[in-house]
Amino acid sequence: MSGGRPRTEIGTHGEIWVSRKGEKYVAGTWVRDDDGKMRQATATGESRTAAAALLKKRLRDRNNVIGDGRLTRTSPFTLLADLWLEDLEVQDLAENSRQAYRDQLRLHVRPTFEHFILGEITTGRVERVLKAQRAISLTQARKCRTVLNLLFNFALRHDALARNPVTGTSRLPRPKEAPQALTLAQVAAIREAAASWRTEPGRPGPKPDGNVRDIIEVLLGTGMRPGEVLALRPCDVSDRRGGMVIKVNGTVVQMKGKGALRQEHPKTHASVRFIPVPRFAAEVLRRRITPLYDQPERTIFANRNGGVLSPPNVRRTFREFLVLAGLADSGISLRWYRRTAATVIARAMGTDVAAGFLGHTSAAITEGHYIEPDQKVDLSLAVHLDRTLRVLQPDPRLLAAATSEEEADILDDIDPPSEDDEPAI
């Protein structure tokens, strides 16, 4: 038989007693705080009832102060937003992603919830907000849901809430026309347009430098983000007997007031990775790298002054390719190239391999610090990409099947829409 009374649970208190002290009444009890220690809590009132009521209110407020005490169930939403913004500054994110989150919070999320305390923001309330935004714009609702999820996960980490109210809201539908992958016919049409763009006899002005024409080949063959391709340097490329391998370790971002800059890390830490390059894309890179033998740290794709290319300018030129190819109203953007490569790998080798190929598995990156690239990289990925997407006699089998709902879900999970990749900027 065990001795002693049961241990008081954290956040609970014992029996409340009330005693008279002069002309006042004092209510008291013992409460077990979040640090596990028992402490006495008291309150004074004009009557027994008033003292006990005040003590109960103080106990409710006391039990809300958990974690580090900065955030509680009774904290205003604006405090959560401010603390999250502070934390955002030290996260391993591209600056463009940070700015997109800041803008979304400032323009849509904060105005909606600024008059609530955290405990008042329920799953039902978030559901109604998302449905209202969905009626205006599905894309806006998706972005709002993403930021709210980040905010309330932050609150969970600080023990301010017992659950994330975004969890349990209805899944936002995918538009029926959501892009999954380019068809081989579309790939061929855009290639032809890129090759003939501004090459008409007698056309005035400088001849095209072929930058964007070659960029889309590398995008198609590697599944990299556009900014990652723009950040590639000769020193990031290893061309060996077994095939070409590139290391993704940076991205180009467009900074307000500063223009295009090469950032010394990609979008996330997990995005640092090694990628095998299929032959059609490797030929493009070899041709581009050859004149840069004495400039190993200059970007392979550069403007006429040798500086990094501006992502908006690349997207603008690509849209001109689409017009020339008769695909202006297709909704195609540079992000379709990333999904096309991912679809080929997913159907040839499985979705887990495709996720790693896109840079969504941090375990592979950890191993990359200790294993030589050509030991770690599966070069067979490049074989499937080359067979399916090469210029001459591409094999249509992997892209021929209609995209299943399950595959579309997986592609959305491993490569969600990105602010950096949207075409209309």
Q: What is the pLDDT of residues 37-56, one digit of tens each?
A: 788 889 999 999 999 999 88
For 38, the enclosing helix (H) or strand (E) is strand 38-45
Tell me the C-alpha distance between 284 and 217, whole Å.
8
Tell me the C-alpha distance between 343 and 177, whole Å.
17
pLDDT tens-digit profile of 42-96?
A: 999 999 999 999 988 888 776 554 445 578 888 999 999 999 999 998 887 777 7
pLDDT tens-place values along the chain, 425 residues long: 455 566 777 677 888 999 998 889 999 999 887 667 788 889 999 999 999 999 888 887 765 544 455 788 889 999 999 999 999 988 877 777 888 899 999 999 999 999 999 999 999 999 999 999 999 988 899 999 999 999 999 999 988 888 899 999 998 876 655 557 899 999 999 999 999 999 888 888 788 899 999 999 999 999 999 999 999 999 999 998 889 999 999 999 888 778 888 988 887 766 888 999 999 999 999 999 999 989 999 999 999 888 999 999 999 999 999 999 999 988 899 989 998 998 999 889 887 788 788 876 533 433 333 333 344 678 889 999 999 999 999 999 999 877 776 667 666 655 554 444 443 32
Tokens standing for residue 394: 């591409």
Tell me the C-alpha distance between 87 and 271, whole Å.
20
Count of beta carbons in the 10 Å neighbourhood of residue 198: 12
Task: Give, in words, the CATH class of 184-200+207-421.
Answer: mainly alpha
pLDDT tens-digit profile of 192-223?
A: 999 999 988 888 878 889 999 999 999 999 99
In the numeric block, the tokens 């323009």 are attached to: 107
Global confidence as pTM: 0.68
Tell me the C-alpha distance between 410 and 387, whole Å.
23
b/e sequence 215-236, b meaning 16+ C-beta within 10 Å:
bbbbbbbbbbbbbbbbbbbbeb
Tell me the C-alpha distance between 332 and 423, whole Å.
8
DSSP 264-331: SS-SSGGG-EEEEE-HHHHHHHHHHHGGGTT-TTS-SSB-TTSPBPPHHHHHHHHHHHHHHTT-TTS-
How close are the terminal C-alpha atoms of the chain, in Å? 73
Q: Are 333 and 422 in contact (CB under 8 A)?
A: yes
b/e sequence 82-95, b meaning 16+ C-beta within 10 Å:
ebbeeebeeeebbe
Q: Residue 213, exposed/middle/buried by CB under 10 A (0-12, 13-18, 19+)?
A: buried
Domain ranges of the chain: 17-64, 77-157, 184-200+207-421
Q: Are 112 and 92 in contact (CB under 8 A)?
A: no
